[in-house]
Structure 1
Amino acid sequence: MGTLRILSGMRPTGKLHLGHYTGALESWVEQQNQRNEAGERVYETCFLIADYHNLTTSLETGEIYTHTLDMLIDWLAAGVDPEKSPVFRQSQVKEHTELFLLFSMLITSSRLERNPTLKDQIRDLNMESLTYGHLGYPVLQAADILLYKGNVVPVGEDQLPHVEITREIARRFNNLYQHPILGEVFPEPAPKITKFSRLPGLDGKAKMSKSLGNTILLSDSPDEIAKKMRTAVTDTKKVRKNDPGHPEVCTVYSYHEKFAPQEQLSAIEADCRSGSLGCVDCKKMCAANIAAELSPLVEKRAYYETHMELVKSILLEGEAKARAIARATMQEVRTAMKLGEITC
């Protein structure tokens, strides 16, 4: 089997936080750099800035470009290599919308309404009404993936319904339309179940969210990290410094599990349980470990922030590469569908 193509993406919401880093960026960089025994890349990776997807939940667009650049800088600082992985905005590759339109003819509204992920979003966002664009979110996602002929889709289990919709659309298109030379135009992408490392927010809520103000940004300085860490919730039963703690229910310990050196982690757990490690010192240690891990990212980020023309050129070059792939795919689609043919 040759190199498999993966398309991954994020909505442009500005500077990223630790949840983005552990939940996505680390996996992206690992996939980008993974090699087989012959030294060949296992995956061809493409990274999408999903600005159209932003509109499914918010029509505010004034900050999208600024947020895009901030997010892209964090991607680059974390190790995304534009020479290996083109980075591009969804809105600048018009074929996304063309394929979305065609795919929307291949699926019923009732099928989309049964999507459990959609039901969860409506509940979580307390939405009173549903737009056509939000209902069709998985169809646009299918167009994103299949436009680049993605073979593999890394997802958590909660996103499996979206992958299944993509597979259904690919299958229906291939059954209806055949390319005279290629035969089937689209692969049926396989889900790659990934156990994303989720970090709770500083307030103990299930995930970090800038709207909740419970995040540590990848761009935060050591002092900012220490200040934020002082607000983190801990074991509510550990009232006094010498009280025995319960690491399994402590938000700060969940950060230790990710960022503390392994030999230090066992000592932190033992000292917490015995009561010899107080929460103030525990938080200081955790903040120092997080700052140490983020130090190379902060340094790279500072470089890109002073070389914004380079960042913009990386984006434009990635979009040129993406458009070339997208144009070729859409030509195959039009040929298979016999759209735009001129016959005598």
Structure 2
Amino acid sequence: MSNKRILSGMRPTGKLHIGHYTGALENWVNHQNATVPDGGRRYDTFFLVADYHSLTTSLDTTDIDTNTIDMVTDWLAAGIDPEKSPIFRQSRVKQHTELFLVFSMLITASRLERNPTLKDQVRDLNMETLTYGHLGYPVLQAADILLYKGNTVPVGEDQIPHVEITREIARRFNNQYPLGDGSGVFEEPEPKITRFARLLGLDGKAKMSKSLGNTILLSDGPDDIMQKMRKAVTDTGKIRKNDPGHPEVCTVFSYHERFSPADTVAAIEQDCRSGALGCVDCKKMCSAAISRELQPLHEQRKIYAERPDMVRDILIDGEERARHVAESTMQEVRGAMKLG
């Protein structure tokens, strides 16, 4: 396998917002399109609709199909190319659960209970009970990654514990079931520390969340964006237009830093601090900047939104391609284990 290989995924939550765009999709597209000096691809990329993972926090699957189509539509609009990157539903590639079962035998419950990311989730979601599936979701993640021989895992620093669990499982499997030449079926994946551009919610909360109603959707048009931006939290110390502002504490200014040109950002910062720029005009400028960046995405999105059967065909094709890779890996796993 000459290229580095990456598997990335999201739970099917429906239409995505600009936080998803800056925090994940941009990186996905960059990895997909990255090249080496001879013009070849730097990474083989696979994109997973993590529908089994969604069950760890909610058993309600009423809208999972619609949410999947809406989410994948946004992926395609943002630049994920199904010719380069298979897009597929986790539940349609049964080898994920087969490898998950094997891997679950290689790690203890106490090790999973020490996972700091799990502890954070339990705290943030105010969970009173923890299901077996939720406890074991890092094991399913390990199966997701290693099923496609993923050897590079783009993560923020807070996700490194998950990569370490995947590395431990790969190491344990290789030691327990070595191949005839002494090598192992799996390569231990390396974390690729990636800076994810995270956006505050419109209400100034730590992150955008549809459940909090503080998002701008990728599918929102200019009027919707402007309407939502009017409610965005700014500098609470800037009461009147001519009051000097503090951009470093303003949610809208943080959006300018991502979506407006650098010279515009510098001018906005100066005029805000001096009191020359009021919040209403600042929000109008920010709305226009976001709308400009999303315009090409809207044009692409319209193509797929009007043709949901095309999106389904893309998934079916991606699942067939993913299944081929997954079954090849499972044949190696069964052979090493002398099963089947």
**What's the TM-score, normalizing by structure 2?**
0.99
Q: Match for residue 137 of structure 1? A: 137
Q: CA offsets per residue over residues 67-94 of structure 1, 9 Å max, x none?
A: 0000000000000000000000000000
Task: Tell me the distance in 1 between the aligned counterparts of 2:52 and 2:180.
Answer: 33
Moved more, 307-316 or 135-144: 307-316
Are 1:179 and 1:332, in contact at CA under 8 Å, matched by a contact in 2? no
Q: Match for residue 322 of structure 1? A: 322
**What's the TM-score, normalizing by structure 1?**
0.98
Counterpart amino acid of residue 194 in structure 2 = T
What is the CA distance between 1:181 and its match in structure 2? Answer: 6.1
Q: CA offsets per residue over residues 168-207 of structure 1, 9 Å max, x none?
A: 0000000010233683100100000111000000000010
Q: Does 1:231 align with 2:194?
A: no
Q: Does 1:112 align with 2:138?
A: no
What is the CA distance between 1:37 and its match in structure 2? Answer: 1.0
Q: Secondary structure at the match of 1:227?
A: helix
Stretches of structure 1 that go unaligned for 5 or more consecutive residues are none
Task: Tell me the distance in 2 between the aligned counterparts of 1:234 and 1:127.
Answer: 32
Task: Tell me the distance in 2 between the aligned counterparts of 1:332 and 1:31.
Answer: 27
Q: Does 1:219 align with 2:219?
A: yes
Task: Tell me the distance in 1 between the aligned counterparts of 2:38 and 2:268.
Answer: 41
Q: Match for residue 193 of structure 2? A: 193
* Alignment size in residue pairs: 340
Alignment of 1:1-344 (within 5 A): 2-180=2-180, 183-340=183-340
What is the CA distance between 1:2 and its match in structure 2? Answer: 2.5
Q: CA offsets per residue over residues 100-122 of structure 1, 9 Å max, x none?
A: 00000000000000000000000
Task: Tell me the distance in 2 between the aligned counterparts of 1:325 and 1:271.
Answer: 56
Q: CA offsets per residue over residues 236-259 of structure 1, 9 Å max, x none?
A: 100000000000000000000000
Q: CA offsets per residue over residues 245-276 of structure 1, 9 Å max, x none?
A: 00000000000000001121110110000000
What is the CA distance between 1:305 and its match in structure 2? Answer: 1.2
Task: Tell me the distance in 2 between the aligned counterparts of 1:107 and 1:124.
Answer: 25
Counterpart amino acid of residue 288 in structure 2 = A
Moved more, 124-133 or 300-309: 300-309
Task: Tell me the distance in 2 between the aligned counterparts of 1:182 and 1:335.
Answer: 14
Detail structure 1 runs of 4+ shifted over 4 Å in the superposition.
none
Identity in percent: 73
Stretches of structure 2 that go unaligned for 5 or more consecutive residues are none
Task: Tell me the distance in 2 between the aligned counterparts of 1:166 and 1:271.
Answer: 49
